[in-house]
């Protein structure tokens, strides 16, 4: 008997993305995305100036990598289709080399009894569309829906788990609020419009998917970060935490599942006179095309207190005008990433989804621990002894198990990520994988201790304490 037994058919695996793993070859037909463009413009903003063309070489090593997935207990694996690879200009002609590649990846996964979960948008706007405004431009919504439809028609006969966006709040935060994604604007009115268009694009893609009569389901991947007030008894702290929750969680969670935006969020946006441009029929489309399945990414909590610092007016209104972040004394930290480790957060998210969102079918689509300098933990056989990652995953899985015992409809767990991959501005600074990638040896792969442990967990469908 295992101490923590999971339901039959539980999905074990990991998540990655096209732009973070595939790489780029001369003549492969891929168009530029915003990441290619930004790296060309500002390579100094990327750790060790490692750009998106130097990712983990999944483009050429996918067969080896899928064997390694099998060796690390994967029964499922999520990646994304790069829009700029499949449709290089964002609209128009389809790149047949990309079709061939994605077909081979899907078929190889299925041949090895690993179910492909496919996400459509993972921060990688085609540069040709960004030049016309990206998500600010209503035409991008239509282009995205056509991209989604193309993917469904090409691959929907074999892929039965689809996701419209990964963490759609991140392009809002990074590109239009906090300057960590291209186009590096700080403009809340633009951020609101971008978020609205992402929500609308998701609903429209869901509508198209269901209209095609395919035998699968479609959802969205949201990074849900619980907002905990400094003092749960303090009304001002609770109100501040509610604002953070509205901006960063419920702005996508409510439309995705309930088909409508939260009233509190609408009130704030109206007060700021920043309502997005809404066309006739949009809100009905969002209302009528909700998700089948929710992916939940969880890394850290958000600790919030009432606004005490001065409001910075230099860039106009920002969400931060409504709350301050709070550093809880004695918190457990991942010192490399600068993030708090709070395992119970995953339980609190699942409880919230069960109690307030109809207990929709969901799964943990990302959870992971980035560590810098993992080479210091290599043993005499060349394998990284990442006991800290085993402890991290195990401690989160215990709370997932508890949520299941209490009735949560959670179907699986994916760690970020399968093999060490390129992580945006951080490049390869922090490593997350079950499998090490040696950049000095042409991307040589070696399974870490956590990968062998995960295989045992998957095989047993659980683990002992």
* Per-residue pLDDT tens over the stretch 84-124: 999 999 999 999 999 999 999 999 999 999 999 999 999 99
Q: How many CA atoms lie within 13 A of 47 on its CB side?
A: 12
Domain harbouring 208, CATH code: 3.20.20.80
Q: What is the pLDDT of residue 337?
A: 84
Q: Is 67 left (phi over 0), alpha (psi -120 to 50) or beta?
A: alpha
Q: Is 313 left (phi over 0), alpha (psi -120 to 50) or beta?
A: alpha
Range(s) of the domain holding residue 318: 4-463
Q: What is the pLDDT of residue 329?
A: 95
Q: Write down how long the chain is.
A: 465
DSSP-derived 3-state class of residue 110: helix
- pLDDT band at 465; cut points 50, 70, 90: confident
Residue 217 contacts residue 164 (beta carbons within 8 Å): no
Confirm whether pTM is higher than 0.95. Answer: yes
Return the minimum-mean-pLDDT range out of 234-238, 264-268, 332-336: 332-336
Which runs of E-coded beta strand occur in 83-207?
115-121, 161-166
Q: What is the pLDDT of residue 1?
A: 66
Other CB atoms within 10 Å distance of the CB of residue 459: 10
Q: Provide long-range contacts, Cβ within 8 A and 24+ apart, for 440-444.
A: 442/57, 443/56, 443/57, 443/61
Q: What is the pLDDT of residue 153?
A: 98
Q: What is the pLDDT of residue 287?
A: 98
Domain count for the chain: 1
In 3D space, the residue among 396, 400, 395, 393 whose CA is nearest the CA of residue 454 turns out to be: 393
Residue 198 contacts residue 168 (beta carbons within 8 Å): yes
In 3D space, the residue among 129, 14, 9 whose CA is nearest the CA of residue 66 turns out to be: 14
User: What's the pLDDT tens digit per position in 167-223?
Assistant: 999 999 999 999 999 999 999 999 999 999 999 999 999 999 999 999 999 999 999
- What are the residue ranges of helices labelled H in 273-410? 282-288, 344-356, 387-405
Q: Is the bond preceding residue 170 a cis peptide, omega within 30 degrees? A: no
CA of residue 421 relative to chain centroid, distance: 14
**Residue 316: CB partners within 8 Å, gap ≥ 6?**
187, 188, 189
Residue 436 contacts residue 446 (beta carbons within 8 Å): yes
Return the minimum-mean-pLDDT range out of 145-154, 298-307, 419-428: 419-428
pLDDT > 80? residue 392: yes
Q: What is the pLDDT of residue 119?
A: 99
In 3D space, the residue among 452, 450, 464, 436 whose CA is nearest the CA of residue 389 turns out to be: 450
What's the mean pLDDT when you consider all of the chain?
Answer: 97
- pLDDT band at 53; cut points 50, 70, 90: confident
pLDDT > 90? residue 2: no
pLDDT > 90? residue 55: no
Query: φ, ψ for residue 354 (rounded to 5)?
Result: -65, -45
* Catalytic residue of the set 190, 198, 343, 366: 366
- What are the residue ranges of helices labelled H in 164-234? 169-176, 188-211
Please give the structure tokens belonging to residue 135: 């998500």
pLDDT > 90? residue 42: yes
With b for 16 or more beta-carbon neighbours within 10 A and e for fewer, the 319-329 pattern comes to bbebbbebeee
Measure the N-to-C terminal CA separation of the chain; round to a whole number of Å. Answer: 11
User: What's the pLDDT tens digit per position in 295-339?
Assistant: 999 999 999 999 999 998 899 999 999 999 999 999 999 988 889
- pLDDT band at 28; cut points 50, 70, 90: very high
Q: State whether the Cα torsion 211-217-218-224 is positive or negative.
A: positive
pLDDT > 90? residue 250: yes
Task: List, in sequence order, every residue forming a beta bridge with 220; answer none if it has no partner.
Answer: 294
Is 366 in the active site? yes
Q: What totals of helices (H) and strands (E) does the chain contain, helices first?
A: 16, 17
């Amino acid at each position: 008997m295992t101490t923590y037994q999971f339901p039959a058919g539980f999905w074990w695996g990991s998540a990655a993305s096209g732009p973070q793993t595939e790489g780029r070859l001369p003549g492969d037909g891929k168009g530029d995305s915003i990441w290619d463009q930004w790296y060309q413009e500002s390579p100094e903003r990327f750790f060790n100036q490692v750009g998106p063309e130097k990712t983990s070489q999944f483009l050429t090593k996918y067969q080896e990598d899928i064997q390694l997935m099998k060796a690390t207990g994967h029964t499922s694996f999520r990646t994304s289709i790069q829009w700029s690879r499949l449709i290089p200009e964002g609209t128009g002609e389809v790149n047949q080399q990309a079709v061939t590649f994605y077909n081979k990846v899907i078929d190889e996964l299925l041949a090895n009894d690993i179910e492909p979960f496919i996400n459509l948008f993972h921060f990688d706007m085609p540069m040709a569309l960004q030049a016309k405004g990206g998500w600010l431009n209503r035409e991008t919504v239509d282009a995205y829906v056509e991209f989604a439809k193309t993917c469904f028609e090409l691959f929907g006969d074999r892929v039965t788990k689809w996701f419209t966006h990964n963490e759609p709040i991140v392009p809002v935060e990074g590109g239009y609020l906090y300057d960590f994604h291209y186009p590096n604007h700080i403009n809340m009115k633009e951020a609101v419009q971008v978020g609205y268009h992402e929500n609308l694009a998701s609903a429209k893609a869901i509508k198209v998917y269901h209209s095609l009569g395919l035998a699968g389901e479609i959802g969205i991947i949201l990074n849900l970060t619980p907002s905990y007030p400094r003092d749960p008894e303090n009304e001002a702290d609770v109100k501040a935490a509610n604002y953070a929750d509205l901006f960063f969680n419920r702005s996508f969670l409510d439309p995705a599942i309930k088909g409508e935006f939260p009233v509190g969020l609408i009130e704030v946006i109206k007060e700021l006179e920043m309502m997005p441009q809404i066309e006739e029929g949009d809100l009905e489309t969002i209302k009528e095309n909700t998700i089948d399945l929710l992916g939940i990414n969880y890394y850290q909590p958000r600790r919030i207190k009432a606004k005490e610092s001065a409001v910075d007016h230099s860039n106009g209104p920002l969400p931060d005008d409504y709350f301050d972040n709070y550093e809880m004394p004695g918190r457990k930290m991942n010192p490399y990433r600068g993030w708090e480790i709070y395992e119970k957060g995953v339980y609190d998210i699942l409880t919230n989804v069960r109690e307030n969102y109809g207990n929709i079918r969901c799964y943990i689509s990302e959870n992971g621990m980035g560590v810098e300098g993992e080479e210091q933990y290599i043993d005499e056989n060349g394998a990284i002894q990442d006991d800290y990652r085993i402890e991290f995953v195990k401690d989160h899985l215990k709370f997932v198990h508890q949520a299941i015992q209490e009735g949560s409809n959670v179907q699986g767990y994916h760690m970020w990520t399968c093999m060490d991959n390129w992580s945006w501005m951080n490049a390869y600074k922090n490593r997350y994988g079950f499998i090490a990638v040696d950049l000095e040896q042409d991307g040589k792969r070696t399974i870490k201790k956590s990968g062998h442990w995960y295989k045992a967990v998957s095989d047993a469908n659980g683990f002992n304490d």
